[in-house]
Structure 1
């Protein structure tokens, strides 16, 4: 006869008729007392705890102890050896001895184990189901474990959804911070080219130390970007009146008598110096104008890259620098990126990176996707190509 695996209370029996396993053993951990949670694999749960460890108030050694406790849960299929997800029907009370937990926790001492268990209990991730003599052991009935005295992981599993969401938020912040670091570097290089005072120069030098710190937060990065943009805006606002004044001074009309005196004073023959000045004052070549126009048109097409680098590159070298910086943000292998630039040019690499940035949430292997885009030449015919000299180096 088939028996549905449900407790008497779940089947609708009266509470006085249902057999409660904890009646004869006060304080024992049973499945009936465990909270409901969505099934989760212990590897996924451990990864989330490791990512959100600082928010949970845990040190790396405490995370190792959690790993040891999770490894004692009866999740492995005895026939296939594959780990099944942890469900509310899994007994979450660990009754392994301290020696076993110390061995599985990378060989920590018994004293260290007790200290970390106390920390986990204080932060609300475990609870203790102690027996009368403090020993841990299972409670069996008909050869099956129905409960146990030991360390209860119910609080950890009850917060599993919260911990996973917190870990995902930390991963998103880390990805955003990588993009902000690149933006800060670009703004800092732009500020170093400006004429600023010593106080601002000292601030620009201190940014390098902030970017090297692993504890730098997204809020700090946003504050630095805001200040750097303010420095650039203030410097440009100060320069504009000076440029207007210079233009007014240059265009001051000269009296005809002064022009006549100057012509009489100068020799009639043209010197070598005058020839060099004439050649220096030649108008810029049309190729430079085409290059600047091509960069402008290209940046209008790269909508996703433009959100990270709103300013148009000043030169080919600057654009190539952006290719390498954005490749780090997208986690593209540097060797594959360099090979793609050498074979297809940095312009095609930028197009491929823009495509990856548009689908970054759905791409598991950015390096392989980048290689395939360059191989197939996706969207190359759609881009504006003003002149073939654009693809040749000077």
Structure 2
């Protein structure tokens, strides 16, 4: 066509009609674009382009009049259905409603009107040349890359919201579980009611469609409460130690500095290759006979002080027993400890004591020929009820003090 009109038939001209159809070469897609994929991307990014679902319905109807599945190339991208044909394609949408949505698509720059001199829509051929009057889809094609980028940005934002909702939901579940656990070990505290109430309120909030900012606020609140609850629950075992027992163990070990080792009760020629010492097995009977699968009556900060090498393999602070367990699980394969040996240790020692043993073995890694075999030997002692990790930690502390 020799001339592209910009004014509509018997309607006032607007800025939308003044837009130039031809886009810079850099922004025009270099390949054909599937019209239905483009429509799906546009439906995802509809807020970016200021259109609604009803506008997209009308656009879908117009695209159905385009014979090919792809836009682009040298094909004239003008469709010329009558208003009646469009409304029939849109399941009987009123003509006034259809025209209103067409105007919104033109205003959004996704379509351009090419009105004939009498306002009719038709195609006319002059030899090899084809002249069409109707709705030009070229602006939509030229915006294909922008639409794709906007749709991808929306999908990424939705994915962030989805992942944040999952995190908040899991934290809410942990909060409710900690409330029940805390009520069992120390009933009647107001803290447990606070945890339960927060979990219930979070459940109600998650029934709504929350923004990423709202979810971030909920996550921060839940994280603070979870940390407080863990500090409270872990506190009696991690920050307070049995003063008399600790004093007895330290005095006993300091009086036998030359006979201290990592696990003195192993038989000679065991898997560790460290000479045993029977004197250091004479620790207090209450420590030896207690259930080894409970959280050890040993402050966590003392374990960390005796085994500083563990911090090299764990990012972040180790302030709770579950963090010590995570660190031990992380470093265990690198030490050559098999999964079966680790599972046995967890079964008979419990996760806390098994983690302490791994940390202690790591501290004396250069002196132990077979860490896996050494752990199995200690597990056998634990299964027989004759093992405590207290002397191991106190021995390491004594070595550090003597160094």
What TM-score do you get using the length of structure 2 for normalisation? Answer: 0.49
Q: Is the alpha carbon distance of 1:181 and 1:134 closer, same or farther for their aligned partners in structure 2, counting shifts above 3 Å?
A: same
Superposed counterparts of 1:90-239, under 5 Å? 90-142=75-127, 144-145=129-130, 147-192=131-176, 193-194=178-179, 196=191, 203-213=198-208, 215-236=209-230, 239=232
1:387 to 1:138, Cα distance in 2 relative to 1, 3 A = same
Alpha carbons 1:34, 1:88 under 8 Å: kept:
no
CA deviation string 1:114-158 (max 9, x = no partner): 12112212222222222333222224211652x322222232222
| Secondary structure, aligned partner of 2:125 | strand
Cα deviation for residue 62 of structure 1 reads 1.5
TM-fit CA distance, 1:169: 2.0
The unaligned stretches of length 5 or more in structure 2 are 9-16, 180-189, 246-287, 297-319, 324-336, 348-403
- The answer for the alignment partner of 2:378 in structure 1 is none
1:65, CA displacement in angstroms?
Answer: 1.2
Secondary structure of 1:148's aligned partner: strand
CA distance in 1, matches of 2:21, 2:230: 68
Which of 328, 334, 339 is the equivalent residue of 1:384? Answer: 339
SS at match of 1:212: coil
The Cα shift of 1:97 comes to: 0.9
Q: Does 1:52 align with 2:45?
A: yes
- The aligned residue for residue 284 of structure 1 is 291
Distance 1:177 1:234 in 2: 26
Deviation sequence 1:144-181 (CA, Å, 0-9, x none): 52x32222223222211111111122222333333222
- Flag the 1:203–1:285 CA change in 2: closer, same or farther, 3 A: closer
Would the aligned equivalents of 2:168 and 2:219 in 1 still touch at CA under 8 Å?
yes
- Tell me if structure 2 keeps the 8 A contact 1:73–1:91: no
**Rounded Cα–Cα distance in structure 2 between residues aligned with 1:108 and 1:282:** 83
* Partners of 1:130 and 1:136 within 8 A in 2: yes
CA–CA separation in structure 1 for the residues paired with 2:192 and 2:42? 46
Structure 1 segments unaligned to the other structure (5+ residues)? 1-19, 76-82, 254-280, 290-310, 315-381
Aligned to 1:22: 3
Q: Deviations over 1:10-43 (max 9, x none)?
A: xxxxxxxxxx6218x78699xx964452121112
Give the superposition deviation at 1:48.
Answer: 0.5
Q: 1:384 to 1:197 in 2, by over 3 A?
A: closer
CA distance change for structure 1 residues 164 and 100 in 2, over 3 Å: closer, same or farther? same
Is the CA contact (8 Å cut-off) linking 1:27 and 1:131 kept in structure 2? no
| Aligned CA distance change for structure 1 residues 384 and 121 (closer, same or farther; 3 Å) | same
Distance verdict in 2 for CA 1:288–1:43, change over 3 Å: farther
Report the counterpart of residue 41 of structure 1 in structure 2. Answer: 34
> Per-residue deviation at 1:197?
8.2
What is the CA RMSD across the aligned residues, in angstroms? 4.5
* Contact 2:172 2:203 (C-alpha < 8 Å) held by counterparts: no
Measure, in 2, the Cα distance between the counterparts of 1:241 and 1:287. Answer: 12
Q: How does 1:235-246 map to 2 (within 5 A)?
A: 235-236=229-230, 239=232, 243=236
1:64 aligns with 2:64: no
Q: Deviations over 1:174-209 (max 9, x none)?
A: 333332222111111223334648777655434334
Indicate how the Cα distance of structure 1 residues 383 and 138 shifts in structure 2: closer, same or farther if over 3 A, else same: farther
Rg (Cα) greater in structure: 2
| Contact residue 42 and residue 147 of structure 2 kept, 8 A | yes
List aligned pairs for 1:297-376, cutoff 5 A.
none
Secondary structure of the structure 2 residue equivalent to 1:149? strand
Q: Residue by residue, what CA displacement relative to the aligned partner does 1:294-340 show, whole Å, maximum 9, x if unpaired?
A: xxxxxxxxxxxxxxxxx9989xxxxxxxxxxxxxxxxxxxxxxxxxx
Cα separation, 2, equivalents of 1:383 and 1:134: 81
